[in-house]
Structure 1
Amino acid sequence: MTALITVKLLDQKLGTPLLVLTSSQRWGVILLLLLCIVLLNAILKANMMSLIPLIFFGPQLLFEWLGWTSPLMLLFTSLVSIVILILLTIAFLRKTNKKNEHLM
């Protein structure tokens, strides 16, 4: 997440891009980063905190890939991200409650 913010800030400061990617190369880099996030999450057996970039940027990238870029779709991507986050939070809380009940 820090790397993405740093690149965005440097882009605004420097102005001239150092590396220009085609559309297919851009999607390849995005998929590679998403794969790294998922693998790191699986290896570390982390909770949903490491999935937050996927939750917030996944629907946006999916809708952009499908060509749905109208203002209504941008609002819908935010709504989808929030719904996914709420559902994952509920699932995590249920799992934690079941684990606590089992220990008692």
Structure 2
Amino acid sequence: RVFTRLPLVKMIYSSIKDLIGAFVGDKKGFNMPVLVSISPESKIHVIGFVTKKNLENIGLSDMVAVYLPQSYNFAGNLIIVPKEQIRPLDVDSSDLMAFIVSGGITSR
């Protein structure tokens, strides 16, 4: 644990630890799947997971944090969108993540 005293190493370590915990820990972070409207005028949507509902600590009280996983990759993008632009999806989070990561090929 000596390496966690280094600021950069600590940041990377805690980020990876939090990401793993989001899938398997008590504080699962990918349990609220949503459909995000890219813009109010657009009919284009993306599938993601709300990771934080309250962003008051960064001055964005009317916004939510949504993680957008990428297909065939263990990467993704975090976007901040108005709460009105998301619609909760009534699907199992694990099934939806498998669907996204497989590029839409896997369906359980």
TM over 0.5: no
TM-score for the superposition, normalised by structure 1? 0.29
Greater gyration radius: 1
TM-score, normalization by structure 2: 0.29
**Greater strand fraction, Structure 1 or Structure 2:** 2
Query: Quick check: which one's helix share is greater?
Result: 1
